[in-house]
Structure 1
Amino acid sequence: MNTLVKLEITRTLRNKKFMFFSVVYPTMLYLIFVATNQGDQVIAGTGLTFKALYMVSMASFGAITAVLMGNSERIAKEREKGWVRQLRLTTLPGRGYVLAKIASAAVVSLPSIVVVFLAAALVKGVRFEAWQWLALTGAIWAGSLVFAALGVAIGYIASGDAVRPITMIIYFGLSMLGGLWWPSAIFPQWLQNIAEWLPTHAYAGLGQAIEIGNAPGAKDVAILAVYFLVFAGGAAWLYRKDTLKA
Protein backbone atom coordinates (compact mmCIF):
# COMPACT_ATOMS: atom_id res chain seq x y z
CA MET A 1 0.00 0.00 0.00
CA ASN A 2 2.90 2.36 0.77
CA THR A 3 4.12 2.04 -2.81
CA LEU A 4 0.68 2.95 -4.15
CA VAL A 5 0.49 5.98 -1.85
CA LYS A 6 3.89 7.23 -3.08
CA LEU A 7 2.83 6.72 -6.68
CA GLU A 8 -0.42 8.63 -6.16
CA ILE A 9 1.38 11.55 -4.49
CA THR A 10 3.97 11.75 -7.28
CA ARG A 11 1.30 11.70 -10.00
CA THR A 12 -0.68 14.44 -8.29
CA LEU A 13 2.29 16.75 -7.73
CA ARG A 14 3.17 16.49 -11.42
CA ASN A 15 -0.31 17.60 -12.47
CA LYS A 16 0.22 21.36 -12.81
CA LYS A 17 -3.42 22.17 -13.60
CA PHE A 18 -4.64 20.26 -10.57
CA MET A 19 -2.08 21.93 -8.30
CA PHE A 20 -3.13 25.36 -9.60
CA PHE A 21 -6.81 24.86 -8.79
CA SER A 22 -6.17 23.23 -5.41
CA VAL A 23 -3.34 25.49 -4.16
CA VAL A 24 -3.13 28.76 -6.12
CA TYR A 25 -6.82 29.29 -6.93
CA PRO A 26 -8.14 29.31 -3.30
CA THR A 27 -5.35 31.72 -2.33
CA MET A 28 -6.25 34.05 -5.20
CA LEU A 29 -9.91 33.96 -4.19
CA TYR A 30 -8.98 34.76 -0.61
CA LEU A 31 -6.91 37.80 -1.56
CA ILE A 32 -9.52 39.07 -4.03
CA PHE A 33 -12.49 38.73 -1.67
CA VAL A 34 -10.68 40.28 1.29
CA ALA A 35 -9.45 43.16 -0.90
CA THR A 36 -12.99 43.92 -2.09
CA ASN A 37 -14.52 43.75 1.40
CA GLN A 38 -13.74 45.30 4.75
CA GLY A 39 -11.27 42.72 6.00
CA ASP A 40 -11.29 44.01 9.59
CA GLN A 41 -15.07 44.05 9.83
CA VAL A 42 -16.41 41.61 12.43
CA ILE A 43 -18.95 39.23 10.91
CA ALA A 44 -22.16 39.05 12.92
CA GLY A 45 -22.71 35.79 14.74
CA THR A 46 -19.07 34.68 14.47
CA GLY A 47 -16.95 37.08 16.51
CA LEU A 48 -14.34 36.94 13.75
CA THR A 49 -13.10 39.49 11.25
CA PHE A 50 -13.85 38.86 7.61
CA LYS A 51 -10.20 38.20 6.75
CA ALA A 52 -9.85 35.64 9.55
CA LEU A 53 -13.14 33.92 8.82
CA TYR A 54 -12.50 33.76 5.11
CA MET A 55 -8.99 32.41 5.67
CA VAL A 56 -10.46 29.25 7.20
CA SER A 57 -13.10 29.08 4.48
CA MET A 58 -10.63 29.24 1.61
CA ALA A 59 -8.13 26.90 3.27
CA SER A 60 -10.97 24.40 3.71
CA PHE A 61 -12.16 25.01 0.15
CA GLY A 62 -8.66 24.35 -1.22
CA ALA A 63 -8.30 21.17 0.81
CA ILE A 64 -11.67 19.92 -0.45
CA THR A 65 -10.60 20.69 -4.02
CA ALA A 66 -7.45 18.64 -3.58
CA VAL A 67 -9.07 15.56 -2.08
CA LEU A 68 -12.55 15.51 -3.62
CA MET A 69 -11.90 16.53 -7.21
CA GLY A 70 -8.63 14.63 -7.40
CA ASN A 71 -9.94 11.33 -6.08
CA SER A 72 -13.24 11.20 -7.96
CA GLU A 73 -11.89 11.99 -11.43
CA ARG A 74 -8.75 9.89 -11.08
CA ILE A 75 -10.60 6.78 -9.89
CA ALA A 76 -13.29 7.03 -12.60
CA LYS A 77 -10.60 7.27 -15.29
CA GLU A 78 -8.57 4.44 -13.75
CA ARG A 79 -11.63 2.20 -13.85
CA GLU A 80 -12.20 2.94 -17.53
CA LYS A 81 -8.54 2.37 -18.43
CA GLY A 82 -8.37 -0.94 -16.55
CA TRP A 83 -5.84 0.19 -13.93
CA VAL A 84 -8.10 -0.84 -11.05
CA ARG A 85 -8.58 -4.25 -12.66
CA GLN A 86 -4.81 -4.69 -12.79
CA LEU A 87 -4.47 -3.79 -9.12
CA ARG A 88 -6.94 -6.52 -8.25
CA LEU A 89 -4.45 -9.05 -9.63
CA THR A 90 -1.95 -7.99 -6.97
CA THR A 91 -2.02 -8.80 -3.25
CA LEU A 92 -3.40 -5.32 -2.46
CA PRO A 93 -6.71 -5.78 -0.55
CA GLY A 94 -9.74 -3.67 -1.37
CA ARG A 95 -9.51 -1.68 1.85
CA GLY A 96 -5.85 -1.01 1.03
CA TYR A 97 -6.80 0.61 -2.27
CA VAL A 98 -9.43 2.84 -0.61
CA LEU A 99 -7.11 3.80 2.25
CA ALA A 100 -4.25 4.51 -0.17
CA LYS A 101 -6.45 6.91 -2.13
CA ILE A 102 -7.59 8.69 1.03
CA ALA A 103 -4.06 8.89 2.46
CA SER A 104 -2.42 10.19 -0.72
CA ALA A 105 -5.15 12.80 -1.18
CA ALA A 106 -4.70 13.99 2.40
CA VAL A 107 -0.96 14.49 1.87
CA VAL A 108 -1.40 16.71 -1.19
CA SER A 109 -4.12 18.75 0.55
CA LEU A 110 -1.59 20.14 3.04
CA PRO A 111 -0.08 22.73 0.62
CA SER A 112 -3.60 24.03 -0.09
CA ILE A 113 -3.99 24.90 3.58
CA VAL A 114 -0.50 26.24 4.24
CA VAL A 115 -0.40 28.58 1.23
CA VAL A 116 -3.70 30.25 2.17
CA PHE A 117 -2.45 30.69 5.74
CA LEU A 118 0.79 32.25 4.52
CA ALA A 119 -1.10 34.69 2.28
CA ALA A 120 -3.39 35.65 5.17
CA ALA A 121 -0.50 36.21 7.58
CA LEU A 122 2.00 37.89 5.24
CA VAL A 123 -0.31 39.89 2.97
CA LYS A 124 -3.38 40.58 5.13
CA GLY A 125 -1.78 40.67 8.55
CA VAL A 126 -3.86 37.92 10.15
CA ARG A 127 -2.38 37.10 13.54
CA PHE A 128 -2.89 34.16 15.88
CA GLU A 129 -0.93 32.41 18.59
CA ALA A 130 1.49 29.69 17.47
CA TRP A 131 -0.71 26.96 18.95
CA GLN A 132 -3.69 28.27 16.99
CA TRP A 133 -1.82 28.12 13.66
CA LEU A 134 -0.76 24.55 14.41
CA ALA A 135 -4.24 23.55 15.58
CA LEU A 136 -5.86 25.17 12.53
CA THR A 137 -3.55 23.32 10.17
CA GLY A 138 -4.11 19.99 11.92
CA ALA A 139 -7.89 20.35 12.19
CA ILE A 140 -8.45 21.39 8.56
CA TRP A 141 -6.02 18.77 7.31
CA ALA A 142 -7.63 15.97 9.33
CA GLY A 143 -11.12 17.10 8.35
CA SER A 144 -10.24 16.83 4.66
CA LEU A 145 -10.18 13.03 5.06
CA VAL A 146 -13.99 13.10 5.08
CA PHE A 147 -14.07 14.57 1.58
CA ALA A 148 -11.26 12.32 0.38
CA ALA A 149 -13.49 9.34 1.24
CA LEU A 150 -16.42 11.02 -0.56
CA GLY A 151 -14.22 11.44 -3.63
CA VAL A 152 -13.41 7.73 -3.68
CA ALA A 153 -17.12 6.87 -3.47
CA ILE A 154 -18.03 9.24 -6.31
CA GLY A 155 -15.25 7.75 -8.43
CA TYR A 156 -16.98 4.37 -8.23
CA ILE A 157 -20.47 5.70 -8.87
CA ALA A 158 -19.80 7.88 -11.91
CA SER A 159 -18.35 7.09 -15.31
CA GLY A 160 -15.35 8.92 -16.73
CA ASP A 161 -17.54 11.28 -18.75
CA ALA A 162 -20.02 12.03 -15.99
CA VAL A 163 -17.71 12.23 -12.99
CA ARG A 164 -16.65 15.87 -13.42
CA PRO A 165 -20.14 17.46 -13.60
CA ILE A 166 -21.39 15.24 -10.77
CA THR A 167 -18.42 16.14 -8.59
CA MET A 168 -18.71 19.84 -9.40
CA ILE A 169 -22.39 19.92 -8.41
CA ILE A 170 -21.64 18.20 -5.10
CA TYR A 171 -18.48 20.25 -4.59
CA PHE A 172 -19.98 23.70 -5.10
CA GLY A 173 -23.30 22.74 -3.51
CA LEU A 174 -21.66 21.63 -0.27
CA SER A 175 -19.26 24.58 -0.28
CA MET A 176 -21.96 27.23 -0.72
CA LEU A 177 -24.63 25.68 1.49
CA GLY A 178 -22.08 24.75 4.16
CA GLY A 179 -20.93 28.35 4.56
CA LEU A 180 -17.50 28.21 2.94
CA TRP A 181 -18.24 30.92 0.38
CA TRP A 182 -20.16 33.21 2.75
CA PRO A 183 -21.12 32.94 6.43
CA SER A 184 -24.13 30.72 7.01
CA ALA A 185 -25.29 33.25 9.61
CA ILE A 186 -26.67 35.37 6.75
CA PHE A 187 -28.85 32.52 5.47
CA PRO A 188 -32.60 32.35 6.14
CA GLN A 189 -33.30 30.37 9.29
CA TRP A 190 -34.69 27.36 7.41
CA LEU A 191 -31.49 27.16 5.35
CA GLN A 192 -29.33 27.54 8.45
CA ASN A 193 -31.15 24.55 9.94
CA ILE A 194 -30.14 22.47 6.92
CA ALA A 195 -26.61 23.84 6.66
CA GLU A 196 -25.66 22.98 10.25
CA TRP A 197 -25.88 19.26 9.43
CA LEU A 198 -23.72 19.41 6.31
CA PRO A 199 -20.10 18.18 6.51
CA THR A 200 -18.77 21.45 5.06
CA HIS A 201 -20.47 23.47 7.81
CA ALA A 202 -18.94 21.27 10.49
CA TYR A 203 -15.61 21.38 8.68
CA ALA A 204 -15.52 25.20 8.66
CA GLY A 205 -16.67 25.15 12.28
CA LEU A 206 -13.48 23.36 13.36
CA GLY A 207 -11.27 26.23 12.27
CA GLN A 208 -13.61 28.98 13.40
CA ALA A 209 -13.71 27.55 16.93
CA ILE A 210 -9.91 27.46 17.10
CA GLU A 211 -9.67 31.04 15.80
CA ILE A 212 -11.70 32.36 18.74
CA GLY A 213 -9.56 30.34 21.15
CA ASN A 214 -11.84 27.37 21.78
CA ALA A 215 -11.57 23.68 21.10
CA PRO A 216 -13.55 22.36 18.10
CA GLY A 217 -17.18 21.74 19.01
CA ALA A 218 -18.16 18.18 19.89
CA LYS A 219 -21.12 18.38 17.51
CA ASP A 220 -18.91 19.37 14.55
CA VAL A 221 -16.41 16.59 15.32
CA ALA A 222 -19.21 14.03 15.66
CA ILE A 223 -20.85 15.10 12.39
CA LEU A 224 -17.56 14.78 10.51
CA ALA A 225 -16.84 11.39 12.09
CA VAL A 226 -20.24 10.05 11.02
CA TYR A 227 -19.84 11.37 7.48
CA PHE A 228 -16.37 9.84 7.26
CA LEU A 229 -17.64 6.41 8.31
CA VAL A 230 -20.51 6.65 5.82
CA PHE A 231 -18.34 7.81 2.92
CA ALA A 232 -15.44 5.42 3.63
CA GLY A 233 -17.82 2.51 4.17
CA GLY A 234 -19.68 3.38 0.98
CA ALA A 235 -16.40 3.59 -0.95
CA ALA A 236 -15.30 0.16 0.31
CA TRP A 237 -18.69 -1.35 -0.56
CA LEU A 238 -18.60 0.17 -4.05
CA TYR A 239 -15.08 -1.18 -4.57
CA ARG A 240 -16.22 -4.70 -3.67
CA LYS A 241 -19.29 -4.32 -5.87
CA ASP A 242 -17.12 -3.20 -8.77
CA THR A 243 -14.85 -6.17 -8.16
CA LEU A 244 -17.76 -8.61 -8.52
CA LYS A 245 -18.64 -7.07 -11.89
CA ALA A 246 -15.11 -7.59 -13.22
Structure 2
Amino acid sequence: MNALVKLEILRALRNKKFLFFTVLYPAALFLMIGGTQSGDTPALGGRLPLAAYYMVAMASFGALTAVLMGNSERIAKERAQGWVRQLRLTALPGRGYVLAKVASAAVVSLPSIVVVFVVAAVTKGIRLEAWQWAALTGVIWAGSLVFAALGVAIGYLVSGDTARPVTMIVYFALSLLGGLWMPTAVYPEWLQSLAAWLPTHAYAALGQAIELGSAPHASDVALLAAYFLLFAGGAAWLYRKDTLKA
Protein backbone atom coordinates (compact mmCIF):
# COMPACT_ATOMS: atom_id res chain seq x y z
CA MET A 1 0.00 0.00 0.00
CA ASN A 2 2.91 2.35 0.71
CA ALA A 3 3.95 2.12 -2.93
CA LEU A 4 0.47 3.11 -4.06
CA VAL A 5 0.41 6.06 -1.64
CA LYS A 6 3.74 7.30 -3.05
CA LEU A 7 2.44 6.87 -6.60
CA GLU A 8 -0.72 8.85 -5.83
CA ILE A 9 1.27 11.67 -4.21
CA LEU A 10 3.65 11.88 -7.18
CA ARG A 11 0.73 11.94 -9.61
CA ALA A 12 -0.89 14.80 -7.71
CA LEU A 13 2.35 16.79 -7.49
CA ARG A 14 2.91 16.45 -11.24
CA ASN A 15 -0.54 17.81 -12.04
CA LYS A 16 0.18 21.54 -12.34
CA LYS A 17 -3.47 22.49 -12.90
CA PHE A 18 -4.52 20.56 -9.81
CA LEU A 19 -1.77 22.16 -7.72
CA PHE A 20 -2.81 25.64 -8.87
CA PHE A 21 -6.42 25.17 -7.79
CA THR A 22 -5.53 23.48 -4.50
CA VAL A 23 -2.48 25.48 -3.38
CA LEU A 24 -2.49 28.91 -5.05
CA TYR A 25 -6.16 29.49 -5.85
CA PRO A 26 -7.35 29.67 -2.18
CA ALA A 27 -4.59 32.16 -1.34
CA ALA A 28 -5.54 34.26 -4.39
CA LEU A 29 -9.18 34.20 -3.26
CA PHE A 30 -8.13 35.36 0.19
CA LEU A 31 -6.35 38.35 -1.36
CA MET A 32 -9.39 39.18 -3.51
CA ILE A 33 -11.98 38.77 -0.73
CA GLY A 34 -10.40 38.94 2.71
CA GLY A 35 -7.44 41.04 1.59
CA THR A 36 -9.71 43.94 0.70
CA GLN A 37 -11.09 44.14 4.25
CA SER A 38 -9.58 46.45 6.81
CA GLY A 39 -7.95 44.73 9.74
CA ASP A 40 -10.64 45.83 12.20
CA THR A 41 -13.69 44.97 10.08
CA PRO A 42 -15.59 42.61 12.41
CA ALA A 43 -17.16 39.22 11.78
CA LEU A 44 -18.98 36.70 13.98
CA GLY A 45 -20.80 39.41 15.87
CA GLY A 46 -17.73 41.61 16.14
CA ARG A 47 -15.61 38.98 17.88
CA LEU A 48 -13.20 38.37 14.99
CA PRO A 49 -11.62 40.60 12.31
CA LEU A 50 -13.06 39.79 8.90
CA ALA A 51 -9.58 39.19 7.45
CA ALA A 52 -8.96 36.54 10.13
CA TYR A 53 -12.37 35.00 9.40
CA TYR A 54 -11.50 34.69 5.70
CA MET A 55 -8.06 33.31 6.48
CA VAL A 56 -9.61 30.26 8.14
CA ALA A 57 -12.39 30.09 5.54
CA MET A 58 -9.99 30.08 2.59
CA ALA A 59 -7.57 27.65 4.26
CA SER A 60 -10.51 25.31 4.84
CA PHE A 61 -11.70 25.89 1.27
CA GLY A 62 -8.26 25.01 -0.09
CA ALA A 63 -8.07 21.79 1.89
CA LEU A 64 -11.61 20.89 0.81
CA THR A 65 -10.66 21.52 -2.81
CA ALA A 66 -7.63 19.25 -2.58
CA VAL A 67 -9.37 16.27 -1.03
CA LEU A 68 -12.80 16.49 -2.66
CA MET A 69 -11.89 17.44 -6.22
CA GLY A 70 -8.74 15.33 -6.15
CA ASN A 71 -10.52 12.12 -5.13
CA SER A 72 -13.91 12.09 -6.80
CA GLU A 73 -13.02 12.72 -10.42
CA ARG A 74 -9.84 10.65 -10.37
CA ILE A 75 -11.54 7.60 -8.85
CA ALA A 76 -14.45 7.79 -11.31
CA LYS A 77 -12.06 7.95 -14.25
CA GLU A 78 -9.89 5.13 -12.92
CA ARG A 79 -12.98 2.94 -12.58
CA ALA A 80 -13.95 3.71 -16.18
CA GLN A 81 -10.41 2.99 -17.42
CA GLY A 82 -10.20 -0.34 -15.60
CA TRP A 83 -7.36 0.70 -13.26
CA VAL A 84 -9.32 -0.15 -10.13
CA ARG A 85 -10.20 -3.56 -11.59
CA GLN A 86 -6.50 -4.22 -12.24
CA LEU A 87 -5.62 -3.31 -8.66
CA ARG A 88 -8.14 -5.85 -7.42
CA LEU A 89 -6.06 -8.56 -9.10
CA THR A 90 -3.10 -7.68 -6.88
CA ALA A 91 -2.59 -8.41 -3.19
CA LEU A 92 -3.73 -4.87 -2.31
CA PRO A 93 -6.83 -5.03 -0.09
CA GLY A 94 -9.81 -2.91 -1.01
CA ARG A 95 -9.35 -0.65 1.98
CA GLY A 96 -5.76 -0.06 0.87
CA TYR A 97 -6.90 1.65 -2.32
CA VAL A 98 -9.30 3.90 -0.42
CA LEU A 99 -6.71 4.72 2.26
CA ALA A 100 -4.12 5.52 -0.42
CA LYS A 101 -6.51 8.02 -2.00
CA VAL A 102 -7.29 9.67 1.33
CA ALA A 103 -3.63 9.80 2.38
CA SER A 104 -2.39 11.30 -0.89
CA ALA A 105 -5.14 13.93 -0.85
CA ALA A 106 -4.30 14.83 2.76
CA VAL A 107 -0.63 15.33 1.88
CA VAL A 108 -1.51 17.71 -0.96
CA SER A 109 -4.01 19.64 1.18
CA LEU A 110 -1.39 20.68 3.75
CA PRO A 111 0.47 23.16 1.47
CA SER A 112 -2.80 24.91 0.61
CA ILE A 113 -3.42 25.58 4.32
CA VAL A 114 0.10 26.83 4.98
CA VAL A 115 0.18 29.11 1.90
CA VAL A 116 -3.06 30.85 2.94
CA PHE A 117 -1.69 31.38 6.47
CA VAL A 118 1.57 32.85 5.15
CA VAL A 119 -0.23 35.18 2.72
CA ALA A 120 -2.63 36.33 5.46
CA ALA A 121 0.19 37.00 7.92
CA VAL A 122 2.29 38.91 5.38
CA THR A 123 -0.42 40.94 3.63
CA LYS A 124 -2.86 41.56 6.50
CA GLY A 125 -0.53 41.37 9.47
CA ILE A 126 -2.55 38.65 11.20
CA ARG A 127 -0.76 37.64 14.37
CA LEU A 128 -1.60 34.65 16.51
CA GLU A 129 0.09 32.68 19.26
CA ALA A 130 2.33 29.81 18.18
CA TRP A 131 -0.12 27.27 19.63
CA GLN A 132 -2.95 28.82 17.62
CA TRP A 133 -1.07 28.51 14.31
CA ALA A 134 -0.24 24.88 15.12
CA ALA A 135 -3.77 24.08 16.28
CA LEU A 136 -5.32 25.77 13.23
CA THR A 137 -3.14 23.76 10.88
CA GLY A 138 -3.93 20.54 12.72
CA VAL A 139 -7.72 20.89 12.91
CA ILE A 140 -8.14 22.12 9.32
CA TRP A 141 -5.92 19.33 8.05
CA ALA A 142 -7.64 16.66 10.15
CA GLY A 143 -11.09 18.01 9.33
CA SER A 144 -10.38 17.70 5.61
CA LEU A 145 -10.53 13.90 5.99
CA VAL A 146 -14.32 14.24 6.20
CA PHE A 147 -14.38 15.62 2.66
CA ALA A 148 -11.76 13.15 1.47
CA ALA A 149 -14.22 10.39 2.42
CA LEU A 150 -16.97 12.27 0.59
CA GLY A 151 -14.75 12.48 -2.50
CA VAL A 152 -14.19 8.71 -2.45
CA ALA A 153 -17.94 8.13 -2.12
CA ILE A 154 -18.73 10.41 -5.07
CA GLY A 155 -16.02 8.71 -7.14
CA TYR A 156 -17.75 5.35 -6.67
CA LEU A 157 -21.25 6.77 -7.04
CA VAL A 158 -20.97 8.47 -10.44
CA SER A 159 -19.41 7.70 -13.81
CA GLY A 160 -16.28 9.30 -15.23
CA ASP A 161 -18.35 11.58 -17.48
CA THR A 162 -20.53 12.94 -14.71
CA ALA A 163 -17.94 13.09 -11.92
CA ARG A 164 -16.84 16.67 -12.57
CA PRO A 165 -20.29 18.34 -12.78
CA VAL A 166 -21.61 16.40 -9.79
CA THR A 167 -18.54 17.22 -7.72
CA MET A 168 -18.65 20.89 -8.72
CA ILE A 169 -22.29 21.17 -7.63
CA VAL A 170 -21.52 19.56 -4.26
CA TYR A 171 -18.29 21.55 -3.92
CA PHE A 172 -19.80 25.00 -4.51
CA ALA A 173 -23.00 24.27 -2.59
CA LEU A 174 -21.10 23.18 0.52
CA SER A 175 -18.63 26.06 0.23
CA LEU A 176 -21.23 28.77 -0.29
CA LEU A 177 -23.94 27.55 2.07
CA GLY A 178 -21.47 26.50 4.76
CA GLY A 179 -19.99 29.98 5.10
CA LEU A 180 -16.61 29.56 3.39
CA TRP A 181 -17.33 32.39 0.96
CA MET A 182 -19.13 34.78 3.30
CA PRO A 183 -20.34 34.82 6.91
CA THR A 184 -23.64 32.97 7.23
CA ALA A 185 -24.96 35.87 9.36
CA VAL A 186 -25.83 37.67 6.12
CA TYR A 187 -28.13 34.81 5.04
CA PRO A 188 -31.87 34.68 5.70
CA GLU A 189 -32.74 33.04 9.00
CA TRP A 190 -34.01 29.84 7.38
CA LEU A 191 -30.78 29.49 5.42
CA GLN A 192 -28.71 30.09 8.55
CA SER A 193 -30.57 27.21 10.22
CA LEU A 194 -29.76 24.97 7.25
CA ALA A 195 -26.10 26.04 7.15
CA ALA A 196 -25.63 25.15 10.81
CA TRP A 197 -26.09 21.47 9.91
CA LEU A 198 -23.64 21.41 7.01
CA PRO A 199 -20.17 19.88 7.47
CA THR A 200 -18.45 22.93 5.97
CA HIS A 201 -20.03 25.20 8.59
CA ALA A 202 -18.73 23.01 11.42
CA TYR A 203 -15.39 22.67 9.62
CA ALA A 204 -14.81 26.43 9.46
CA ALA A 205 -16.07 26.82 13.04
CA LEU A 206 -13.18 24.67 14.33
CA GLY A 207 -10.61 27.21 13.18
CA GLN A 208 -12.69 30.21 14.17
CA ALA A 209 -12.93 28.94 17.75
CA ILE A 210 -9.15 28.58 17.91
CA GLU A 211 -8.65 32.10 16.53
CA LEU A 212 -10.86 33.36 19.37
CA GLY A 213 -8.56 31.60 21.84
CA SER A 214 -10.82 28.70 22.80
CA ALA A 215 -11.14 25.02 21.99
CA PRO A 216 -13.40 23.89 19.13
CA HIS A 217 -16.99 23.35 20.23
CA ALA A 218 -17.90 19.76 20.99
CA SER A 219 -21.03 20.08 18.83
CA ASP A 220 -18.94 20.96 15.75
CA VAL A 221 -16.53 18.09 16.38
CA ALA A 222 -19.44 15.67 16.87
CA LEU A 223 -21.15 16.85 13.68
CA LEU A 224 -17.98 16.37 11.64
CA ALA A 225 -17.41 12.93 13.18
CA ALA A 226 -20.96 11.93 12.24
CA TYR A 227 -20.45 13.13 8.67
CA PHE A 228 -17.14 11.26 8.46
CA LEU A 229 -18.80 8.02 9.52
CA LEU A 230 -21.60 8.64 7.03
CA PHE A 231 -19.29 9.43 4.11
CA ALA A 232 -16.74 6.72 4.93
CA GLY A 233 -19.48 4.14 5.42
CA GLY A 234 -21.09 5.18 2.15
CA ALA A 235 -17.73 4.95 0.36
CA ALA A 236 -17.11 1.45 1.77
CA TRP A 237 -20.58 0.28 0.75
CA LEU A 238 -20.21 1.73 -2.76
CA TYR A 239 -16.78 0.11 -3.09
CA ARG A 240 -18.18 -3.31 -2.19
CA LYS A 241 -21.09 -2.76 -4.59
CA ASP A 242 -18.67 -1.81 -7.35
CA THR A 243 -16.57 -4.90 -6.58
CA LEU A 244 -19.59 -7.17 -7.02
CA LYS A 245 -20.31 -5.59 -10.42
CA ALA A 246 -16.71 -6.24 -11.51
> 1:123 is paired with a residue of what secondary structure?
helix
Structure 2 partner of 1:49: 49
Q: TM-score, normalised by structure 2?
A: 0.98
**TM-score with structure 1 length normalisation?**
0.98
Partner of 2:213: 213
Cα deviation digits, residues 191-238 of structure 1 (max 9, x gap): 111111100000000000000000010000000001001111111111
Alpha-carbon offset, residue 174 of structure 1: 0.4
44-53 vs 108-117, which moves further? 44-53
Q: Deviations over 1:36-64 (max 9, x none)?
A: 33342112426110110000000000000
Stretches of structure 2 that go unaligned for 5 or more consecutive residues are none
Instruction: Measure, in 1, the Cα distance between the counterparts of 2:8 and 2:148.
Output: 13
Which segment drifts farther, 43-52 or 171-180? 43-52
| Correspondence 1:133-144 to 2 at 5 A | 133-144=133-144
Per-residue CA deviation, residues 158-204 of structure 1 (Å, 9 max, x unaligned), is 11111000000000000000000000122111111111110000000
Distance 1:219 1:241 in 2: 33
2:201 counterpart letter in structure 1: H
Tell me how far apart the structure 2 counterparts of residues 209 and 4 of structure 1 sit (CA, whole Å).
Answer: 36
1:31-88 CA-partner distances (Å, limit 9, x unpaired): 1113433342112426110110000000000000000000001101100111000000
List gaps (5 residues or longer) in structure 1: none
CA distance in 2, matches of 1:175, 1:166: 14
Whole-angstrom distance in 1 between the partners of 2:116 and 2:123: 10
| Number of residue pairs aligned between Structure 1 and Structure 2 | 246
Letter in 2 for 1:157: L
What is the SS of the residue equivalent to 1:96? helix
CA contact (8 A) 2:56 2:207 kept: yes
Confirm whether residue 182 of structure 1 aligns to residue 169 of structure 2: no
Specify whether residues 87 and 36 from structure 1 end up closer, same or farther in structure 2 by C-alpha distance, changes over 3 A only: same
* Counterpart in the other structure of 1:110: 110
CA distance in 1, matches of 2:37, 2:131: 28
Give percent identity, aligned residues only. Answer: 74
Cα separation, partners in 2 of 1:99 and 1:195, compared to 1, 3 Å: same
**SS of structure 1 residue aligned to 2:124:** coil
**Aligned-pair CA distance for 1:19:** 0.3
Are the counterparts in 1 of residues 203 and 220 from structure 2 also a CA contact under 8 Å?
yes
The equivalent residue for 1:7 is: 7
Q: For the structure 1 residues 46 and 151, does the alpha-carbon distance in structure 2 shift closer, same or farther, using more than 3 Å as the test? A: farther
CA distance in 1: counterparts of 2:117 and 2:95, whole angstroms? 33
Q: How far does residue 95 in structure 1 lie from its aligned partner after superposition?
A: 1.5
Please say which of residues 68-77 and 27-36 is displaced more in the overlay.
27-36
CA displacement 1:82-104 (0-9 Å, x = unmatched) = 10000000111111211111111
The letter of the residue matching 1:138 is G
Q: Equivalent residue for 2:166?
A: 166
Q: RMSD in angstroms over aligned alpha carbons?
A: 1.0
Distance in 2 between residues matched to 1:13 and 1:95, nearest whole Å: 23
